[in-house]
Chain A
Amino acid sequence: MPSNSDESNKVPIKIGMKAYLSLIIAILFFSGLFLNVDGMKWLGAFDFTTLGGSFGTMQNPAKNTFVGEAGISAKAGFLFALSLVPTVMLALGVLEIFTHYGAIRAAHKLLTPLLKPILGLPGLTGLALITDLQSTDAGAALTKELYDEKVIAKKELIIMGAWQYSGAGLINNYFAIGSALFAWLTVPVVIPLILMFIMKFVGAIFVRIALTTFYKRDFTNE
C-alpha cells in the first residue's frame, strides 16, 4: 500500500495491476457470482447482496419487517425509505474503496481504444465519458472544455452528448438511487449496470448514424 498521501491529489497517469485488480474485484463483488454458492456459504463474505443483509421480522414473520404491514402514504413512505438506507450506505462505501484503488482509472484505460472505431471519437475524450459515469456535471464540464479547445468538432460534441445524456451519472445514480431496488432484483446487481453501459454505446452509435445521414447537411462545412 503506498504510504505517500499526496499521490491521490494528482490525476494519476500510471495504471498498475492494483487498478485492474480493483476493477475485477469490483465487478465480482457486485456480480452475484458468490451469492448462495452451494456448500460454500463463506463466499457470501465477498458478495454485495449477502452483505446487504436483511431486517428481522415482526408479528407475521412471513412478510413483516419493521416497516410493518398495510401502512399508507407519507408515513409508510418514510419508514420504507428508512429501510433502504443501509443498502445505499453499503453500496457507496464499497464503491469508494474500489474507486480509491483505481477501478475507474482501469475502466478508462480499457475504454479508450474502443472509442475511435465505435463512436468515431478521439481517445482523449475517454476521460470525459468515464467521468460522466460518476458525475453528470463534471462530465459535462470536461466535454465543454474539449469543445472550447477545439479538440472535438460539433458532430463529436453531439455524439458525446448522446453517450452522456442517456443514463447520465450512471454508476453514481445506479448505486446511490437504484440501490433502493437492489433487494428485489431477480438478476445480479451488475447485469442491469452492464446493460445500461452497453445501451449508452448503442444510443451514441444511433446518433452517430443519424448525424451522418438525416442531419448530413449540417456538417458539410466541417
Chain B
Amino acid sequence: MSNTHKRETNNPFDIFIIGARKGFNIAINNLMPNVVMAYVIAQILNLLGLMDFLGIVFSPAMTIFSLPGVAITVLLTAWLSASAGTGVAVSLFAHQQLGITDITILAPAIFLMGSQLQYMGRLLGVADVPKRYWPLLMVTSILNAIIAMLVMRVIIAL
C-alpha cells in the first residue's frame, strides 16, 4: 500500500476504514496463508504421529505452565514466526488439543519470543547491535516468554 492517501481526513469513520483496510490486507496476506500452512503442517505431524510424540516428550516441561505437551509446537513455531505460531495455536484449538485457558497462557509468550529469526535481520541487523550480544538478547526474550506464561497462569487462577 502506498502512503499517498495517508490521513487526508479527520473524519473518524474514514479513519476507521483506513485501519480496517489495513486489517483486511494483513488478514489476507499474513494471517490466512500462515493459518493454511499451519493447518497443513499440523495435519502432516498428526498423520506421522509426531504431534503425539512431541506432546508426550514435552508434557513434563509444559506442566510447569499448566499447558498440555503439544503447546511446545506453538512455542517452537512462534520462535520462527509469530504469525505461524498463532496459526498453529489456532489449528490446535480447532482440533481441541488446546483449550481457551491454554491459548490465554500462550498468547503473550507467542509475541515475546516471536519471529526472533526474522527480527535478527530486521531489527538487530538494522540497528547494528553487535553480534556478540545477539545470543544474550535471544535468551532474554525466551526468559521473558517463560515468565509471562507463569504470570498468565497466576492471573487465570485469580
Contacts and interface: CB of A to CB of B under 8 A. Distances in A.
A143 interface: yes
Contact of A173 (B36, B91, B114, B124): B114
Interface in A38-74: 67, 72-74
A113 interface: no
B6 to A, nearest CB: 8
Nearest to B151: A195
Interface size class of A (residues with CB under 8 A): 35 or more
Nearest to A85: B27
B130 A158 contact: yes
B116 interface: yes
A200 B126 CA distance: 19
Interface string B119-158: 1001110111110110011101101110110011001100
A62 B123 CA distance: 45
A222 to B, nearest CB: 13
Given A80-B35, A80-B39, A178-B86, A195 B10 contact: no
B55 to A, nearest CB: 18
B48 interface: no
B144 A202 contact: yes
B103 interface: yes
A77 B127 contact: no
A3 B8 CA distance: 11
Please report whether the interface of chain B is mostly helix, strand, loop or mixed according to DSSP. Answer: helix
Which of A1, A160, A168 lies at the interface centre, i.e. has the most chain B CB atoms within 10 A of its CB?
A: A168
Interface residues of B, number: 74
A8 B126 contact: no
A80 B126 CA distance: 36
B30 interface: yes
A196 B15 contact: no
A100 B122 CA distance: 26
A168 B39 contact: no
B40 A74 contact: yes
Nearest to B120: A165
Interface string B12-24: 1001111110111
B26 A195 contact: no
Interface in A172-195: 173-174, 176-178, 180-181, 184-187, 191-192, 195
Interface string B100-121: 1101100110111111100100
Q: Nearest 8 CB-CB pairs, A to B?
A: A96-B19, A77-B39, A92-B23, A93-B20, A81-B35, A166-B141, A89-B23, A161-B129
30 contacts: A77-B37, A78-B32, A78-B36, A80-B91, A84-B35, A89-B23, A93-B23, A96-B19, A97-B16, A136-B119, A136-B122, A136-B123, A137-B126, A161-B137, A165-B119, A165-B141, A176-B22, A177-B111, A178-B86, A185-B100, A186-B101, A186-B104, A192-B108, A192-B148, A196-B148, A199-B147, A203-B141, A203-B143, A207-B133, A207-B136
Interface of B: 7-10, 12, 15-20, 22-24, 26-28, 30-32, 35-40, 43, 82-83, 86-87, 89-91, 93-94, 100-101, 103-104, 107-108, 110-116, 119, 122-124, 126-130, 132-133, 136-138, 140-141, 143-145, 147-148, 151-152, 155-156
Interface of A: 1-3, 5, 8, 67, 72-74, 76-78, 80-82, 84-85, 88-97, 100, 136-137, 139-141, 143-144, 147, 154, 157-158, 160-162, 164-168, 170, 173-174, 176-178, 180-181, 184-187, 191-192, 195-196, 199-200, 202-203, 206-207, 210, 215, 218
